[in-house]
Amino acid sequence: MVKKKIFLVAVVLVLGVSLPAQADLVFESGYNTYDDSDGYNSEVWVTNDAILDVSGGEMTKLEINNYGAANIFEGANIDSLVSAYQAEDTLINIYGGDIDNLIAYNTCEVHLYAYDVTYHPDVYDSGWIEGVYISNNEPFLFSLGLWTYPNLTVIPEPTTFLLFGLGGLLLRRRK
């Protein structure tokens, strides 16, 4: 009888350790939205070919996996925005929101729609970044996980493109 109990406890422990932890909410395909009506979720996953627009609500961790994409807008409240370590070809577009920590590994592209962006490197990790969102002129500040900065592209505001275009026209006209 004691051997059966030990065996059952061992099986439960092995299964508990070998099975991956599941997120509170998983988006596996298609176009999806997450907003205030979704309330609070500890962990949200976006995987496969899913696209998630986050415009509200609160979550401890938003993890983007293989070929997934996330668009973060004003109203989103995310403690950790992460592309999974072994994920392939993930995309994160940040237009606004309150993000505490951004971690982008491997082939993840991060597009930050902001201006007056300043990167502050740190000796022990990738540092932190601050600036102003284009969409609402709100300032932001979030820490960057190790190896994140090389994957981050700052997309300038439309006025910059307009000024470049006008400058090109003026130079062409002078010739």
Give residue limits of the domains in the chain.
Answer: 21-174
- Does 32 score more than 60 pLDDT? yes
Give the span between the Cα atoms of 148 and 81, in whole angstroms. Answer: 11
Give the span between the Cα atoms of 45 and 71, in whole angstroms. Answer: 13
| Residue 51 neighbours by CB under 8 Å, 6+ apart | 30, 31, 32, 68, 69, 70, 71
Does residue 63 or residue 10 have the better pLDDT?
Answer: 63
The residue among 139, 78, 81 whose CA lies nearest residue 110 is 81
Q: Predicted confidence band at 14 (pLDDT cuts at 50, 70, 90)?
A: very low
pTM for the model stands at 0.76
Q: Which residue shows structure tokens 């002078």?
A: 174
Q: Are 87 and 105 in contact (CB under 8 A)?
A: yes
In angstroms, what CA-CA distances link 154 with 80, 123, 157? 19, 22, 9
Q: Which residue shows structure tokens 């969102």?
A: 133
The residue among 163, 165, 107, 115 whose CA lies nearest residue 136 is 115
- Does 5 score more than 70 pLDDT? no
Does residue 90 or residue 106 have the better pLDDT?
Answer: 90
List the helix and strand counts (H, then E) for the chain. 2, 13
Two tokens, residue 149: 């900065």
Q: Which residue shows structure tokens 């991956």?
A: 20
Q: Predicted confidence band at 150 (pLDDT cuts at 50, 70, 90)?
A: low
For the stretch 120-145, pLDDT in tens is 888 777 789 999 999 999 999 998 88
Q: Say how far residue 124 (Cα) sits from the centre of its chain.
A: 21
